[in-house]
């Protein structure tokens, strides 16, 4: 019996689909076997790797990420924007991940953003007061008062976040703005420097809770000075000072061997809980780096330093890169103190000393950089500091050729000073044999029995002009004094 034409065509299509399915299954099996063979080969290679060299490596399981110089960040097959697109099948998961990252990532608000936040809060409070006045039929208040920042009830934080984002380059969420304003930036909080009484009281409150968990909110309320809990924690707990020892230096070298010199946060976590990344970096680069040179600079290095300064300006990190074995601080100090042609290496003049002493007396809190700028004449910070320390050492006399008419700024009275004390003359030893007092003349005494007198030493007469005028430096202040010339005593006959 013949089959209808339509039925035969359907049967043929089914057979073709079955055959295609079998071929596809066979291709998948072949591909699977090939993948399994490749995986087996990889496992054998992994097992064949010699890990004996890693046995001596320290176990540095401190977490974090490692940055390799010159590496390129891995890119996903699908861009992040495509994952968040409306038609993406991964949109829901991508949104959850974005929300999670927004909650855990720390993005510090800069001063400009904080000003924008305060302005947004004032604008929102003004808008709220204007709506309330319009609803109650009252005229809006004519002046803006400080209460616009104090009121924190009924604020629309979504509107504040939108306003803040328009005033600053960063985009902040409403929750971020609310936490930052109510937890830190509200005017009710005290941001003045901590007094010693506050520090003593908060430490005593912490000591009372030694056997129980610390409730910083409760401690803040008991302190009663409108501080934030975070401020109490910062000023109430003292971080132990880290002192570098041979053991900590060894741990630093071990951590650098594993993590390199681009992951100081991981290095610090391994060395000690009391050390910071910057301390580890400075300790290695300035002290224990094996490649660091501690010898005098050579003329070739000075020439390279001059050329590098011409090329890179004051970028000392780039300058140190062309001077192997020299740290950027070494390059900066060498240029500032020695190589820079502007530096004045001549002896200090009285005028420069006067300017240095006057400025340090009038501006006790000034830095040495400001002092060097005031003195000028090519004097550096280190020169001013060293010269000031030299002038502070006691007093000394300066020859009259350097006398200048100068009034001491500290009110030292100038006047005559007593003559300098003369060193006592050494007493002569009495002779063992003394001539008897018989009334006879000394001429009658035989020469062999007469006591011998020590030959008188010729003395040089004093010159009035060399003693009359001098400068006395006392307490680093030059002042004119008149010293009377001491009279020359006569020798006893």
Tens digit of each residue's pLDDT (9 = 90 or more) over 99-127: 888 777 777 888 888 888 888 888 888 88
Res 422 pLDDT > 60:
no
CA distance 121 to 284: 47
Q: Residue 304: which residues within 8 A CB-CB, separation 6 or more?
A: 322, 323
Picking from 255, 197, 206, 209, the residue whose alpha carbon sits closest to that of residue 58 is 255
Res 251 pLDDT > 90:
yes
Which pLDDT belongs to residue 252?
Answer: 93
Res 405 pLDDT > 60:
no
Q: How confident is the model at residue 254 (pLDDT cuts 50, 70, 90)?
A: very high
Percent of residues, the chain, with pLDDT higher than 90:
5
30-63 exposure pattern, b = at least 16 Cβ within 10 A, e = fewer? eeeeeeeeeeeeeeeeeeeeeeeeeeeeeebeee
Q: How confident is the model at residue 490 (pLDDT cuts 50, 70, 90)?
A: very low
Q: How confident is the model at residue 456 (pLDDT cuts 50, 70, 90)?
A: low
CA angle 54, 56, 62 (to 5 degrees): 80
pLDDT, average across residues 151-160:
84
Which pLDDT belongs to residue 290?
Answer: 85
Higher pLDDT, 74 or 66: 74
Q: How confident is the model at residue 271 (pLDDT cuts 50, 70, 90)?
A: very high
Tally of CB atoms within 10 A around 331: 25
Taking the alpha carbons at both ends of the chain, their separation in whole angstroms is 172
| Cβ 342 vs Cβ 309: under 8 Å | no
Which pLDDT belongs to residue 395?
Answer: 44
pLDDT per residue as tens digits for the range 320-361: 888 888 888 888 888 888 888 888 888 888 888 888 888 888
What is the CA 476 to chain-centroid distance, rounded?
33
Res 91 pLDDT > 90:
no
Q: How confident is the model at residue 78 (pLDDT cuts 50, 70, 90)?
A: confident
Quick one: the chain helix, strand, coil %, rounded to 5? 50, 5, 45
pLDDT, average across residues 415-425:
51
Q: How confident is the model at residue 253 (pLDDT cuts 50, 70, 90)?
A: very high
Q: How confident is the model at residue 140 (pLDDT cuts 50, 70, 90)?
A: low
Q: What are the residue boundaries of the structural domains of the chain, listed by start?
A: 112-188, 202-236, 239-290, 292-341, 350-395
Of the CA atoms within 13 Å of residue 118, those in its CB half-sphere come to: 14
Which pLDDT belongs to residue 55?
Answer: 47
Question: In whole angstroms, how far apart are CA 232 and each of 43, 217, 276, 415?
Answer: 55, 9, 21, 58
pLDDT, average across residues 265-287:
89
Res 279 pLDDT > 50:
yes
- The CATH architecture that domain 292-341 belongs to is Orthogonal Bundle (1.10)
Lowest mean pLDDT among 38-42, 215-219, 403-407: 403-407
Class (C level, CATH) for 239-290? mainly alpha
Question: In whole angstroms, how far apart are CA 180 and each of 114, 119, 225, 235?
Answer: 9, 14, 19, 20
Locate 350 and state its tokens.
């009285």
Which pLDDT belongs to residue 400?
Answer: 38
Lowest mean pLDDT among 34-43, 123-132, 267-276: 123-132
Higher pLDDT, 295 or 453: 295
pLDDT per residue as tens digits for the range 287-306: 888 888 888 889 998 898 88
User: If 0-12 CB within 10 Å is exposed, 13-18 middle and 19+ buried, where does residue 254 land?
Assistant: middle
Domains 239-290 and 292-341 share a fold: yes
Lowest mean pLDDT among 237-251, 281-295, 386-400, 431-445: 431-445
pLDDT, average across residues 147-153:
77
Higher pLDDT, 389 or 419: 389
Which pLDDT belongs to residue 255?
Answer: 92
pLDDT, average across residues 39-61:
64
Q: Residue 481, SS3?
A: strand
pLDDT, average across residues 165-171:
75
Which pLDDT belongs to residue 246?
Answer: 92
Res 215 pLDDT > 70:
yes
In this prediction the pTM is 0.39
pLDDT per residue as tens digits for the range 191-204: 889 899 988 998 88
Residue 190, by phi and psi: left (phi above 0), alpha (psi -120 to 50) or beta?
A: beta
Q: How confident is the model at residue 250 (pLDDT cuts 50, 70, 90)?
A: very high
């Amino acid at each position: 019996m013949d089959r209808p034409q339509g039925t035969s065509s359907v049967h043929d299509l089914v057979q073709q689909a079955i055959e295609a399915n079998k071929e596809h299954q066979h291709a998948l099996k072949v591909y699977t076997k090939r993948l399994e063979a490749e995986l087996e080969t990889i496992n054998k290679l992994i097992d064949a790797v010699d890990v004996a060299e890693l046995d001596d490596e320290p176990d540095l399981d401190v977490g974090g990420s490692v940055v390799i110089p010159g590496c390129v960040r891995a890119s996903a097959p699908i861009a992040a924007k495509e994952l968040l697109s409306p038609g993406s099948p991964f949109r829901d998961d991508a949104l959850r991940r974005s929300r999670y990252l927004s909650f855990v990532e720390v993005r510090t608000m800069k001063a400009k953003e904080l000003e924008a936040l305060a302005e947004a809060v004032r604008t929102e409070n003004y808008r709220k007061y204007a709506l309330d006045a319009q609803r109650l039929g009252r005229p809006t208040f004519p002046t803006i008062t400080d209460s616009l920042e104090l009121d924190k009830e009924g604020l629309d934080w979504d509107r504040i976040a939108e306003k803040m984002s328009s005033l600053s380059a960063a985009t902040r969420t409403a929750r971020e703005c609310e936490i930052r304003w109510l937890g830190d930036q509200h005017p009710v909080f005290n941001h003045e420097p901590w007094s010693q009484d506050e520090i003593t009281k908060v430490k005593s409150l912490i000591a009372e809770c030694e056997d129980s968990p610390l409730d910083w909110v409760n401690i803040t309320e008991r302190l009663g000075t409108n501080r934030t809990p975070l401020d109490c924690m910062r000023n109430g707990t003292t971080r132990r000072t880290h002192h570098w020892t041979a053991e900590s230096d060894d741990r630093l070298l071990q951590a650098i061997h594993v993590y390199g010199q681009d992951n100081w946060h991981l290095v610090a976590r391994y060395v000690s809980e009391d050390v910071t990344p910057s301390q580890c970096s400075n300790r290695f680069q300035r002290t224990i780096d094996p490649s660091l040179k501690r010898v005098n600079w050579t003329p070739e290095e000075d020439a390279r330093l001059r050329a590098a300064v011409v090329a890179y300006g004051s970028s000392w990190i780039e300058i140190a890169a062309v001077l192997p074995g020299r740290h950027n601080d070494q390059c900066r100090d060498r240029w500032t103190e020695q190589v820079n042609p502007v530096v004045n290496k001549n002896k200090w003049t009285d005028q420069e000393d006067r300017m240095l002493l006057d400025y340090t007396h009038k501006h006790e809190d000034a830095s040495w950089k400001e002092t060097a700028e005031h003195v000028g004449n090519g004097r550096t910070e280190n020169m001013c500091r060293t010269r000031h320390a030299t002038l502070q050492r006691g007093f000394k006399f300066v020859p009259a050729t350097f006398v200048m008419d100068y009034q001491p700024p500290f009110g030292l009275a100038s006047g005559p000073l007593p003559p300098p004390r003369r060193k006592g003359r050494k007493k002569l030893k009495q002779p063992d044999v003394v001539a008897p007092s018989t009334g006879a003349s000394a001429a009658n005494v035989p020469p062999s029995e007469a006591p011998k007198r020590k030959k008188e030493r010729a003395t040089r007469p004093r010159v009035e002009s060399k003693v009359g005028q001098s400068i006395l430096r006392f307490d680093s202040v030059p002042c004119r004094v008149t010293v009377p010339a001491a009279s020359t005593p006569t020798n006893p006959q």
